[in-house]
Structure 1
Amino acid sequence: MTGMVLLVCCGLTVLLCVPVQAYENFALHLPAWQSSTAWSYTADRAVDGRYTDLRWSGGQCAASDGEQTAEWRVDLEGLRSINYVVIQYVTDNIVWDEYNWFSSYFLGFSVYISNTTNKEDGVLCFKDTNYTRATIPNPVNISCPYHGRYVIYYNNRTHPPFPEGYSDYSDTDLCEVEVYDCPEGLYGLKCLQNCSMTCGYPGTCNMMTGHCHGGCQVGWTGAMCEKGYHLAINNTHENMYLLKTLNISAIK
């Protein structure tokens, strides 16, 4: 997805105009890995931005050898504040319904967010326990309001008998995995908080903590530039400048 830019202006003493970026796929072209590889269908094909051909053999999808477990991950190359993940599974370019053979391989999948390559070190973002071949969506949009470096797709067929409709073994079969971060100007769980307009770079901050980038605007202090102050001159022979904190809430 191409990031769109909106111009948001806020009137203070001077006019502050801040570019706010729309959601952007941060997994695009980043390093990817999978537990095994079928033919030449390597893990990076699931983050190459191409999914116009959803055939297993179409050259745009990652695929593993059929095994008891299938695992795929993307390295976001740093800790990110993740909002949601979109998975486009193989369809073979035929209608996605209960008669599509690949739906049986998609059932039961999990998504983890981790700071290491080990999914057990992270948090389980989603685990399919309810879908059937008739109800599993494709693509699927998964809310993942967590912080982490690795997004991990996992599926297994290790404990038979399996639920009705499940395949006997698992594959990755991922045509695209998109990971969406907080847009510029927002931070925190589910990206619901606005960065302060009194930051040194107005409206830009750490996506996890909300701490300002570039210090604070003149007249403001604090990690989130939330404390207002003014300079007062002490009329003594030293002419010392005093910093007085005001009880002012920062503009968010």
Structure 2
Amino acid sequence: MSGEAGKAVDGHRGFLSENQSDVGYQCTKSADGRKTATWQVDIGQILPVHHVIIYYSTSDRDGSSFRSQMCGFSLYISNTSKNFEDGKFCDHAYKIKDSTKNISCTVSGRYITYYNERRSDHRYSNCSTFAHNDLCEVEVYGCSHLGALGVNCTVPCPGYCDYCDENGTCLSCKNGLDGHFCNMSELNTLGHSDRIRYSFPFSIVVPVVLVSSVGIVVLLSVVIIQRKTILKQRKQDTDREKYNNFISQADNATYDTILKRDSYGYEEAEERYQTVL
């Protein structure tokens, strides 16, 4: 049947290799007068994709008349057929210079979706009035098995990756692990909302710590001042005690009597000196 969706994956890029014409009924052809046009293919399982080549239908040698229909398309790669817009957005094009598009999109997925639309709230330039998906061929390139990457798909994904992108970043992990290399447990990779919910309450703790620190400094200052006062009082008491002991000992002290000498050459020879303490 002419224009059926499977024509875009039948291995034939067009009626002629240099002229992707739908004359040979080798291209899909969407209904006319539609505001949206969607084409999707299931590659069988989630696989690492590197790039997608789209061969759009042309009516003549330069393909100018069909480029306006290709204008405004978007390409997605997703793990589910529904809600494909939640998957990886690969490309969006308005200015179409060539009916063949080579789109790099390094992601793992199962469904390739070509989507075109004509929105009433958007002004389109050099685009057709209605949306179309007249595709001659869609070719998907990547690795045909999980857990591999690289040009020849010979480099294994790191650690516990189910599959990864061309940079070795894990896109799905085994055993409930998480992280770019599947080397982190789930507890270490809480979502943003969880991190907010379980985050440390700095707004409460920091003021408390500051007030407590000030309180501790004040308390230490008071203790130091009191200790100095006590030590000073003890020293005064000790000095007073030593002084009193000295006075007490002085009152009870006995001294040797210093005998006077006779005074020679004085008339009052018999006068005696007083006893000196």
Query: TM-score, normalised to structure 1's length?
Result: 0.55
Shift of 1:153: 0.2
Shift of 1:55: 2.1
Alignment counterpart, residue 27 of structure 2, candidates 52, 57, 61:
61
Alignment counterpart, residue 143 of structure 2, candidates 177, 182, 201:
182
Q: Which position in structure 1 is the counterpart of 2:8?
A: 46
Shift of 1:128: 1.4
Flag the structure with higher helix content: 2
4+ runs deviating over 4 angstroms: 183-186, 190-194
1:138 paired with 2:99, answer: yes
Given the superposition, is the C-alpha separation of residues 148 and 112 from structure 1 closer, same or farther in structure 2, using an over 3 Å criterion?
A: same
Question: Counterpart of 1:95 in 2: which secondary structure?
Answer: coil
Alignment counterpart, residue 103 of structure 1, candidates 49, 52, 67:
67
Asked whether the 8 Å contact 1:182–1:207 carries over to 2, the reply is no
Matches for 1:6-17 after TM superposition, within 5 Å:
none
Q: Give CA-to-partner distance per residue, 1:203-231, whole Å, 9 cap, x none.
A: xx9753889xxxxxxxxxxx9xxxxxxxx
1:75 paired with 2:39, answer: no
Shift of 1:186: 8.6
1:89 paired with 2:56, answer: yes
Q: Report the structure number with the largest CA radius of gyration.
A: 2
Shift of 1:191: 5.5
Q: Which position in structure 1 is the counterpart of 2:164?
A: 208
Asked whether the 8 Å contact 1:185–1:194 carries over to 2, the reply is no
Question: Counterpart of 2:65 in 1: which secondary structure?
Answer: coil
RMSD: 3.0
Gaps of 5+ in 2: 171-181, 183-277
Flag the structure with higher strand content: 1
1:158 paired with 2:124, answer: no
Question: Counterpart of 1:145 in 2: which secondary structure?
Answer: strand
Asked whether the 8 Å contact 2:7–2:137 carries over to 1, the reply is yes
Higher RCO (CA 8 Å, separation ≥ 6 residues): 1
AA matched with 1:49:
G
Partner Cα separation in structure 1 for residue 65 and residue 80 of structure 2: 33
Given the superposition, is the C-alpha separation of residues 171 and 121 from structure 1 closer, same or farther in structure 2, using an over 3 Å criterion?
A: same
AA matched with 2:13:
Y
AA matched with 1:148:
G
Alignment counterpart, residue 89 of structure 2, candidates 104, 115, 124:
124
Asked whether the 8 Å contact 1:46–1:60 carries over to 2, the reply is yes
Aligned length: 158
Shift of 1:123: 1.7
Asked whether the 8 Å contact 1:88–1:140 carries over to 2, the reply is yes
Alignment counterpart, residue 76 of structure 2, candidates 99, 106, 112:
112
Shift of 1:157: 0.7
Shift of 1:51: 2.0
Shift of 1:183: 7.2
